[in-house]
A and B are shown apart, each in its own frame.
Chain A
Amino acid sequence: MCESCGCGETAGHWHDHGHEHGHEHTHVHGHDHGVAGGRIIPVRSNALALNQRLADQNRGWFRAKGWTVFNLLSSPGSGKTALLERTLAALDGSAALVGDLQTERDADRLRAAAGESRAVQITTGETCHLDAHMVAHALDRLPGDGVRWLFIENVGNLVCPASFDLGEKRRVVLLSVTEGEDKPLKYPVIFREADLVLVTKNDLAAAVEFDRAAAEANIRQVAPKAEILAVSSKTGEGMEDWLRWVRAQGE
């Protein structure tokens, strides 16, 4: 990716190269390779190291700018964009980057709700998550002036986005009441690092017989550090608590 966009990142040179020297590695350690005569070359390269480095760069940039940045993660259709429509409209100095495979629809919705300069779409093509590199490039398209709070709406997906730090300060995982109380147990990895789990579409809780106590117990099991709040972007219920939590993260 980096080789093709000309941003200066040379993805091929960030890791410690494996040995280029010619010495033979002995096989004193019991590898289970089946074919005799093979030579083992240690590499120890981390596939996510480049993303981590770029995420740390983003984090430094956000800090220098005085922005507080949130990474919003959830399955598709759990209400990330609806939450942001309300949030951007209510919170001065807020902006959003929104990730989807295709279309500008989410950014269009946010611009309609909060103003032309407040949202930038990242279309990922076939990629199922945002990474720190995409975010760094999208920042060029944000106005910059007057931004204090940045929300990054990740691609709707409860699996892959968990692996990619974007440089955010806080991770927010949304769980809509229609998804079922056991979703956190089924996708524990993405919930583990959540700072906040936001139960969304709370206006539908009664209609779908949402068991709040069971959901909270499941969240606490897989996301022990997370706070839990409930909101309805439709009725506005819980929005004040959410905005209070957001503001508290900037202190």
Chain B
Amino acid sequence: METLLRDAAAAAGGEKIRALKVRVGPLSGVVVDALRFAFESMAPGTAAEGARLDVVETRPEFRCPDCGRLYETPVGAYRCPGCGSARGELAAGNEMELESIEVQ
């Protein structure tokens, strides 16, 4: 959250931030409620004071190296639905990124 607020302030270049849009994957280890709580407790006194936090939650996505299939899957079930391979490589779902900010 510290990093996010710092990046947001740098991007805003002194302007007041109205909203932050972050992308969070379920495999990032980041708990969205905890992120919101951290935002509420840390934003006051920064350029993001009073801003809205928009969280976009992504879904885990894997690419199967055996059959080439790209598949979405819930957390905790990673096998390729096409060929059953357990070697799927993570393609999405571990994001913890500040996508954009909205300023006045």
Q: Is the CB of B102 within 8 A of A46?
A: no
Which chain B residues (16-70) contact chain A, with CB distance < 8 Å?
Answer: 18-19, 21, 26-31, 52, 54
Give the nearest-CB partner of B79 in chain A: A224
Candidate in A11, A32, A38, A221 with the most chain B CB atoms within 10 angstroms: A38
CB nearest neighbor in B for A22: B13
Query: Which one of A40, A44, A50, A224 contacts B102 once the chains associate, using CB atoms below 8 Å?
Result: A40
Which residues of B from 88 to 104 have beta carbons under 8 Å from A?
Answer: 88, 94-104
Chain A facing B: main interface SS = mixed
B79 to A44, Cβ gap below 8 A?
A: no
Please determine whether B10 and A221 come into contact, CB atoms closer than 8 angstroms. Answer: no
Say whether A189 contacts B87, CB under 8 Å: no
- On whether the beta carbons of A43 and B102 are closer than 8 Å, the reply is no
Asked if B83 CB lies within 8 Å of chain A CBs, one says no
A172-207 interface bits toward B, Cβ cutoff 8 Å, 1 = contact, 0 = none: 000000000000010011101000000000000000
| Among candidates A44, A190, A224, residue contacting B98 with C-beta atoms closer than 8 Å | A44
Does any Cβ of B come within 8 Å of A37's Cβ?
yes
**Count of B interface residues, CB-CB < 8 Å:** 39
Q: How large is the interface on A (under 10, 10 to 19, 20 to 34, 35 or more residues)?
A: 35 or more
Residues of A within 8 A of B87 (CB): 224-225
Question: What residues of A have a CB within 8 angstroms of the CB of B97 in the complex?
Answer: 44-47
Q: Tell whether A150 is near chain B: CB-to-CB under 8 Å.
A: no
Q: How far is the CA of A17 from the CA of B86 in the complex (A)?
A: 37
Complex: A39 Cα to B88 Cα, angstroms? 39
Residues of A within 8 A of B77 (CB): 221
Interface contact B99-A43, CB-CB below 8 Å: yes
Q: Tell whether, in the assembled complex, residue A50 and residue B3 are in contact, meaning their CB atoms are under 8 Å apart.
A: yes
CA distance A38 to B104 in the complex (A): 5
- In contact, A40 and B101 (Cβ under 8 angstroms): yes
Q: Which residue of A lies closest to B99 (CB)?
A: A44
Binding site for A on B (CB under 8 A): 3-4, 6-8, 10-13, 18-19, 21, 26-31, 52, 54, 75-79, 86-88, 94-104
A-B pairs with beta carbons under 8 Å apart, 11 shown: A15-B7, A19-B11, A37-B104, A38-B103, A41-B102, A43-B7, A43-B99, A46-B97, A47-B96, A188-B75, A188-B76
